[in-house]
Structures are given as C-alpha cells and as structure tokens.
Amino acid sequence: MSGCLSALLLLSLNVSAATGVEGIEKRDTPLKVGITLHPYYSYVANVIGDRAELVPLVDSGFNPHSYELQPADLKRLLSMDALVLNGIGHDEFATQAVEKLIHSQPELKQQLTLINANKDVPLLASANSRNAWNPHTFVSIDAAIRQVYTIAKSLGQLDPENAKYFQRNAIQYARKLRGLKNRYMRQLVATDLSSIRIASTHNAYGYFLQEFGIRIDTVIEPAHGVEPSASQLKKTIERIRSANVNLLFTELDMDNRYVSTIERATGIHLHHFSHMTYGDYDPDKVYREMEQNLKTLNKALKQASSDNHDAEQKG
C-alpha cells in the first residue's frame, strides 16, 4: 500500500469518527463539489453559481497523465459532498485512489457522491486500444453540453432546493456554448471539406472534429505522450504522403520533437489546439479556449480546402 493511500485511510477514519457518514435529510450548508480536471471546473462553476462551493481536487499546474494524489489532495477529497469525474481514463489518478478508498471504507459511499460526467455521452473508442474509450470528451462542444446537463441533474438530486437553479444555469451555459459553435460553423458553409485528410499527434480531437463531419485519418503517438519510434515515424510519414493528409493537429504548448520532422518530410500544415487541462482554474476557460480552437480549425480547414482547389486547377 502506497504512503499516500495509507495516509488517506487514516485520515478517513478520523473524519468518519468526528463527523459521521450518515446521510443528511435536509441540507443546511452549501454543497461542496470537487472536480479533477480544469474543464470540469468551468462546467461546475457555470452550473452552481453562488449556491455551492467548488473545490479542485488538485492544485493547478499538475500533469494529469503522471500525477499521484498527495495527502493535501486526499484531505480535500474527504471534505467533499460530490466529486465530478471524467471517469473514462483522463483522471485515473483520482478514480483509482477513490475506488481503493471506498473498497476499504464502504460507508464513505454515503458521504461522497461520484458524478460520472460522461455517462450520457456517446463515446468513441480509443485509437490505441479496442478495450478503452477516448477520454477527451471535454475537447468538444456537443459532449461538453451533455456533461453540463448530467452534472446539473446530479447536483440537483443532492440539493433539491437548488435543482431548478442548477438546471437553468446549465441551459444558459449550453446555449452560450452552442451559439459559439454555430457562429463558426456558419463560416464554413461554403468550404469544401470532402478532400481534407487529418493527422493528429494523439486522439484528443476526435469528438471535436466529428461535430464538423471530419474524422482523423492518422494518429501518430502509439499512446498519449509517447513519442513514436524511428520505424513508426517513418511509417507515419509514408502514410501521410500516400493518403494525401494535408493537416496535422497537435497540442498547444507541447514540445513534440518529432513533429518538425514530419513537417519537413511532408510539407504538411501544422496547427495547435488547446487541450484545456493546464493553467489556472477559471470558469471561462472552456469557452475562451474552445473559441480559440474553433478559430484555429476554421483557418486550417479553409486553408486546406483552398490548397486542394488550387491543386485540382493545376492538375
């Protein structure tokens, strides 16, 4: 048993002894809602307004792919009424610890409600495994809206007095996100997307691109954050050339050394998307960074479509 998990179990015994874990018939204090990832901070903040307390499980600045919960995180976990989870692979650092905790202390199920934000989202399979789901549902407006509604409904069940308030806020936030998407989709109405082929460093943008009727032709990394070997990179370059892939999407602020190799070898156009899982927690983060992603996508698709048209004219 790891040191952090041992500390968690000891802390849970102390909290249970001091406060009890029996259900509260009538809520006399605001809900304390935890989140594991930055996008869920934006979702929950826009749903709860000033009628609940929002608590990030982990301080900002962490890498969700390699993080291990610390004692301070575990203490925050045990103070929460609910924890909003991605739950399909992107916040395993939290789900694994919570599962172990509840297994050893089953009564804590009465104290902490786990909200699987993705339970109503149609999921895409992972590009690297047939037995796993693509967890990047938050890099998508349609999937984000479904998650916002799920969160609002679940929090309303915990706090019936504010259920309608949460629901109204969810509808307003969803309308705002949908308006953002529609604004950029209208700009692409006259753009021919039929010959556009896309490569991505990893499969973070599958949900986002399918909203525009586009799929990813080639995923480069064998696993998220794992650079391809020399032989894998060679095969990728060959596929990009043979399939006429003309756009390469990668993650903003990520230093993928192999990307420049692909650029030089193929002449492919490179564009960067925000992953929305880094930086400070901010209620406006999803809207702001999703708008930047839409601007980037709009520019990339128009450029690729224009290049294809010019090539056809010359041919």
User: What type of residue sits at position 88?
Assistant: I
> Does the pLDDT of residue 10 top 90, yes or no?
no
User: Do the domains spanning 3-183 and 198-314 agree at the CATH topology level?
Assistant: yes
Q: Would you say domain 198-314 falls under CATH 3.40.50.1980?
A: yes
Alpha-carbon distance of 174 to 144, in angstroms, equals 8
The SS3 call for residue 46 is: helix
Confidence at residue 3, expressed as pLDDT on a 0 to 100 scale: 53
Q: What confidence tens digit (pLDDT) does each residue in 78-102 have?
A: 899 999 999 998 999 999 888 888 8
Structure tokens at 239: 């596929």
Least confident of 17-21, 57-61, 170-174: 17-21
Confidence at residue 49, expressed as pLDDT on a 0 to 100 scale: 98
The answer to whether residues 209 and 216 touch, using CB atoms and an 8 Å cutoff, is yes
Order of strands across the sheet with 113-116? 52-56, 31-35, 82-85, 113-116
> Does the pLDDT of residue 149 top 60, yes or no?
yes
Structure tokens at 182: 């529609």
Helix (H) or strand (E) holding 84: strand 82-85
Confidence at residue 130, expressed as pLDDT on a 0 to 100 scale: 63
Confidence at residue 81, expressed as pLDDT on a 0 to 100 scale: 96
Q: What confidence tens digit (pLDDT) does each residue in 225-239 have?
A: 788 999 999 999 999
User: What type of residue sits at position 70?
Assistant: Q
Alpha-carbon distance of 110 to 24, in angstroms, equals 9
Highest mean pLDDT among 108-122, 158-172, 221-235: 158-172
Alpha-carbon distance of 147 to 153, in angstroms, equals 10
Alpha-carbon distance of 242 to 265, in angstroms, equals 13
Least confident of 10-14, 127-131, 235-239: 10-14
pTM of the model: 0.88
Residue 106: how many CB atoms within 10 A of its CB?
Answer: 10
DSSP 32: E
Provide the mean pLDDT of the chain. 88
> Does the pLDDT of residue 221 top 60, yes or no?
yes
User: What type of residue sits at position 216?
Assistant: I
Highest mean pLDDT among 8-12, 147-151, 193-197: 147-151
> Could you tell me the pLDDT band of residue 13, with boundaries at 50, 70 and 90?
very low
Domain boundaries of the chain, sorted by first residue = 3-183, 198-314
Instruction: Give the dihedral of Cα atoms 296, 297, 299, 303; nearest 10 deg.
Output: 140
The answer to whether residues 285 and 279 touch, using CB atoms and an 8 Å cutoff, is yes
Residues in the chain: 315
> Could you tell me the pLDDT band of residue 166, with boundaries at 50, 70 and 90?
very high
Confidence at residue 313, expressed as pLDDT on a 0 to 100 scale: 79
> Could you tell me the pLDDT band of residue 108, with boundaries at 50, 70 and 90?
confident
Q: Tell me how far apart the terminal alpha carbons of the chain are, to the nearest angstrom.
A: 65
Residues in Cβ contact with 143 at an 8 Å cutoff, skipping those fewer than 6 apart: 118, 121, 137, 207
> What secondary structure does DSSP assign to 199-253, as a single string?
EESSGGGHHHHHTTT---SEE--SBTTBPPPHHHHHHHHHHHHHTT--EEEEETT
Alpha-carbon distance of 141 to 211, in angstroms, equals 8
Q: How confident is the model over 210-215, as a mean pLDDT?
A: 92
- 34 vs 227, more confident: 34
- 45 vs 104, more confident: 45
Alpha-carbon distance of 259 to 156, in angstroms, equals 45
Confidence at residue 155, expressed as pLDDT on a 0 to 100 scale: 98
> Does the pLDDT of residue 4 top 70, yes or no?
no
CATH architecture of 3-183: 3-Layer(aba) Sandwich (3.40)
Alpha-carbon distance of 312 to 315, in angstroms, equals 5
> Does the pLDDT of residue 15 top 50, yes or no?
no
> Does the pLDDT of residue 12 top 60, yes or no?
no
Q: How confident is the model over 240-251, as a mean pLDDT?
A: 93
User: What type of residue sits at position 1?
Assistant: M
